[in-house]
Amino acid sequence: MFEQLKDLKKAHEMQKAFARERHTVEEAGIKVTVNGNLKLEEISINSQIGQDELGPTLVNLINRALQEIQQRLARQLMG
């Protein structure tokens, strides 16, 4: 039972550490930041991108940011 409590505490500490991680990607004047808990933190649009390009660019950036932070956190877990 004590081992389970230790594991739970360790998992909670890892979750807090992941929440502090940030990853930002930028393209075409649009910047997206996500945290290690895979939550969107910020979107910044500093360009004259057309409405027809805005949606697909945002989707691409958000997905890229999430994928890259997942990979970074996985590398940290593996040592």
- Give the pLDDT score at 23: 96
For the record, the structure tokens of 51 come out as 């409405």
Residue 1 predicted with pLDDT over 70 = no
- Give the pLDDT score at 63: 97
- All structural domains of the chain, each given as residue ranges with its CATH number in brackets, are 2-78 (3.30.1310.10)
Residue 12 predicted with pLDDT over 70 = yes
**What long-range pairs does 6-15 form, CB within 8 A, spacing at least 24?**
14/77
Residues 37-76: tens digit of each pLDDT? 999 999 999 878 888 999 999 999 999 999 999 999 999 8
The 10 Å CB-count burial string (b at 16+, else e) for 39-53 is eeeeeeeeeeeeeee
Q: Which residue has the higher pLDDT, 4 or 42?
A: 42
